Amino acid sequence: MNVYDSDRMADVLAPLGYTSVDGPEDADMVILNTCHIREKAAEKVYSELGRLRQLKQARSETEPDRRGPMLAVAGCVAQAEGAEMLARAPFVDIVFGPQTYHRLPEMIAKAERTAERAAKPGGRNGSRGAGILDTEFPEEAKFDHLPNAQPKRHGASCTAFLTIQEGCDKFCTFCVVPYTRGVEFSRPGRAVLAECHQLVDGGVREVTLLGQNVNAYHGAAPGSGNWDLAELIAQLAVIEGLERIRYTTSHPRDMTDRLFDIHGTCAKLMPYLHLPVQSGSDRILAAMNRGYTAADYHAAVARLRQVRPDIALSGDFIVGFPGESEADFEATMELVDEVNYAQAYSFKYSPRPGTPAALLENQVPDDVGAARLQRLQELLNQQQQAFNQRMVGRRLPLLLDRAGRRPGQLVGRSPYMQAVHVDGGLNLLGRIVEVEITAAHANSLAGTLSPPQAAAPRRPMEPRMGRVS
């Protein structure tokens, strides 16, 4: 979601004349878009700010007539630390949270005025003065004030993220999201459709619907009532030229009957789902306030596999949650063994300020958490390797989304999000082609284009059904 937000910030800044540059050295403004989910991510912000401060100083020495780059910190660390951040890093010009970036032009104008005052005789020359802070959760929804989304600015232009839902009311005891992103909010269906049409008109073929709990989506329907995620997917599936739909991150508790069903009926919905479980122990799941048991999760997986037998799963795991015993951890290993993941993200529990779990007394020692993480990751890696190996000899449809490192090489994504390298001409970029998988490496696959498909004209995949009633 931070990638999507950063792109939208670029959209907001484009009318002011800003364009993206490759690195901070040449920039007139640098925005760090930050993540607070784990301590490690949050710590990185200050080390990065230290480097940017040096850059700013160096520029004021080499180019005394030019003010150093304006420095802004966005995202959830900015939201959580706000004024404290400005006190700790007074050289930062603007600090703003994830819900106020549509106000960037006003913030920049204010920061410019402050800097001009500081540059006047008697002012603090070269410095920008007091920083601007905006970490409100404003009444107005930022999406109503953002300019239309442009097709993806980073990397591939035939795939795009599209935020449809933000925030969370679930309050898992380990998680900062409800505090930093705010209450759950769904964008109206009409706005999502309009943004998707615009992306597809700009060449996008695959859209990933984003939300902290994307399957809790309940956006206003045009007219009256609400659309759930299944209905939204059905509405998007009829857009001609849109060939693949994905959604992330989904919560096991919000998998509805209609959502299960659409996995079996909508051909554009890719057979790959990220469904975080966090733990396989019911005791720990309850302490985390997840609202489901391991058996509920297994039932969801079974149902997905029943409606879409070729579906592959990825998940998130936390080890070393306070009070996690060896037996609790073994339950997680058993769950992983049974589910068999295609891919996964696993983390050592990180106590986050202001969350209930951070106050629990029975914190798991660091070395115990680290050892468990290593065991879990070994198992998950084995499963991922085995999944990739099973692709060898199969034919897969590939969306060719970028040029490879070697001339004449292209990289595409399989339905299961695997990167696949093939040889082919740049004219194939943005197309879906059939590929025979010839080898599986640690993090990617290799394949060969089948000549008849390589020459086929681009045609959108037909959905097996257009609407859910």
The site for ligand SF4 (CB under 6 A) is made up of 168, 170-172, 175, 177-178, 212-213, 251
Residue 178 interaction partner, one of ligand SAH, ligand SF4, none, beta carbon < 5-8 Å per kind: ligand SF4
148-151 CB contacts, 8 Å cutoff, 24+ apart: 148/11, 148/194, 148/195, 148/198, 149/7, 149/8, 149/11, 149/195, 149/198, 149/199, 150/7, 150/10, 150/11, 150/14, 150/202, 151/199, 151/202, 151/203, 151/204
Count of residues that interact with ligand SAH, criterion CB under 6 A:
17
Residue 171 interaction partner, one of ligand SAH, ligand SF4, none, beta carbon < 5-8 Å per kind: ligand SF4
Nearer to ligand SAH, 184 or 401 (CB): 184
Strands 70-74 and 94-96: what pairing?
parallel
Cα angle value 341/343/349 (rounded, 5°): 95
Give the whole-angstrom CA distance, residue 318 versus residue 321: 7
| Amino acid residing at 372 | R
159: its two tokens = 């795939």
String of b and e for 132-154 (b: at least 16 CB within 10 Å)?
bbbbeeeeeebbeebeebbbbbe
Beta bridge mates, 51: none
* CB of 465 vs ligand SF4, minimal distance in Å: 30
* CB of 318 vs ligand SAH, minimal distance in Å: 5
* CB of 212 vs ligand SF4, minimal distance in Å: 4
Q: Is 347 a binder of ligand SAH (CB under 6 A)? A: yes
The answer to whether 434 touches 459, Cβ cutoff 8 Å, is no
Nearer to ligand SAH, 33 or 249 (CB): 249
Nearer to ligand SAH, 213 or 383 (CB): 213
335: its two tokens = 């769950």
Query: Which of 207, 193, 70, 192 has the alpha carbon at shortest distance from 126?
Result: 70
Among 14, 24, 38, 179, binds ligand SAH (CB under 6 A): 38
Residue 347 interaction partner, one of ligand SF4, ligand SAH, none, beta carbon < 5-8 Å per kind: ligand SAH
* CB of 276 vs ligand SAH, minimal distance in Å: 3
Nearer to ligand SAH, 79 or 350 (CB): 350
Nearer to ligand SF4, 159 or 213 (CB): 213
Q: Return the CA Rg of the chain.
A: 24
* CB of 384 vs ligand SAH, minimal distance in Å: 17
* Site mask for ligand SAH (CB under 6 A), range 291-330, x = bound: -------------------------x-x------------
* CB of 175 vs ligand SF4, minimal distance in Å: 3
* CB of 170 vs ligand SF4, minimal distance in Å: 4
Nearer to ligand SAH, 281 or 350 (CB): 350
* CB of 295 vs ligand SF4, minimal distance in Å: 19
Q: Is 205 a binder of ligand SAH (CB under 6 A)? A: no
Burial bucket for residue 48 (CB in 10 Å: 0-12, 13-18, 19+): middle
Nearer to ligand SAH, 244 or 251 (CB): 251
Nearer to ligand SAH, 252 or 447 (CB): 252
Nearer to ligand SF4, 213 or 343 (CB): 213
Residue 253 interaction partner, one of ligand SAH, ligand SF4, none, beta carbon < 5-8 Å per kind: none
11: its two tokens = 């959209």
Binding site for ligand SAH (CB under 6 A): 37-38, 174-175, 177, 212-213, 249, 251, 276, 278, 316, 318, 347, 349-350, 352
